[in-house]
Amino acid sequence: MSIPTVKLNSGYDMPVVGYGTWPLKGRRATDAVLAAIGSGYRLIDTAAAYDNEEAVGAAVRECGLPREELFVTTKLRGADQGLGSTRRGLEGSLERLGLDYVDLYLIHWPMPAVGRFAESYAEMADLQREGLIRSLGVSNFLPEHIETVTTETGIRPALDQLQVSPSHSRPELVADVQRDGIVVQAWSPLERNTGVLDHPFVTAIAQRLGVTGAQVVLRWLLQRDITVVPHSGDPGRQRANADLFGFELTAQDMAAVADLDTGAPVKQDPATWEEF
């Protein structure tokens, strides 16, 4: 199975579907990443905060593919934000991953009250110039946070990883971020299987198209030009979650899934959420 790519504003190509590794750790994480790579995933999403970078790095070495065929994303944890500590944060991640560079480095949360995300991003720009990071990105950033880092460095992030799913479709936020040529990547796209995959609107479309509810939801995101990093510990579900390119949702299907938006704010509000 071959997963299409999107070109980032850094010039690098990124697969539109990646494998999310939270909450796996240790050998289970290594085996799950190996299975995902075996199913065709080339983008692996990890984070310093997930405590599984060593396990992901082991899979990257064991899978037998050349490094340049894989796209590894990791994230700067809150505790490492700041001048000097951002460099140490990335160096620690590279050491645990056993890699010379990461394809994409994200600031995990902006934590605006801490006031260090802009200087962290500026230090990431230095690390990019040194070749340790290919593309600069952010996660859970609102447009005002993106504006701040872009003004600070003159480098617009390539990507913003945001919580987006049918219950939280966030159309205005997604449009604002995409308008500036920044790729949106959805985390928890399947809402951790808490009900949306079995909603009658979703299962009706799934039955008609002969796919699963998860495939409907992921395809709905892709057709909004939102890239995705679903997680599954199960090799069969991993494979199905990446098999999204042999069917299409109609405009009516797109509207039916969009109708599932609860309108409720996300629990982890990027304006206030802190995670160290």
Position among 137, 231, 244, 249 found at the interface with ligand NAP (CB under 6 A): 231
Residue with the shortest CB distance to ligand NAP: 20
Active site residue 50: yes
Does position 134 interact with ligand NAP (CB under 6 A)? The reply is no
Q: CA 99: distance to chain centroid?
A: 19
Contact 112, 145 (CB under 8 A): yes
Whose Cβ is closer to ligand NAP: residue 139's or residue 153's? 139
Instruction: For 65-101, give one letter per residue: b (16+ CB within 10 A) or e.
Output: eeeeebbbbbbbbbebbbeebbbebbebbbebbebeb
| Beta strands 5-7; 13-15: pairing state | antiparallel
CA separation for the pair 192, 183 (Å, rounded): 22
CA end-to-end span of the chain: 37
The rounded distance, in Å, linking the Cα atoms of 128 and 100 is 12
Q: Binding of ligand NAP at residue 229 (CB under 6 A)? A: yes
Range 90-119, binding ligand NAP (CB under 6 A): 108
Decide: is 212 part of the binding site for ligand NAP (CB under 6 A).
yes
If binding is defined by CB under 6 A, does position 176 make contact with ligand NAP? no
Choose which of 191, 203, 209, 239 interacts with ligand NAP (CB under 6 A).
191
Out of 12, 19, 41, 50, the active site residue is 50
Measured from the CB atom, is 130 or 144 closer to ligand NAP? 144
Beta carbon nearer to ligand NAP, 148 or 212 = 212
Of 14, 16, 21, 201, the residue at the interface with ligand NAP (CB under 6 A) is 21
The residue within the footprint of ligand NAP, chosen from 240, 249, 256, 260 (CB under 6 A), is: 240
CB of 142 to ligand NAP, least distance (A): 13
Torsion angle of alpha carbons 93, 99, 105, 108, nearest 10°?
Answer: -30
Please name the residues in contact with 174: beta carbons below 8 A apart, sequence gap of 6 or more. 162, 164, 184, 224, 226
Question: Of 241-270, which residues contact ligand NAP (CB under 6 A)?
Answer: 241
Task: Identify the residue whose tokens are 């990446």.
Answer: 242
Considering the complex, what minimum distance in angstroms separates the CB of residue 110 from ligand NAP?
11
Positions touching ligand NAP (CB under 6 A) are 20-22, 45, 108, 139-140, 161, 187-193, 197, 212, 214, 229-234, 237, 240-241
Residues designated catalytic? 50
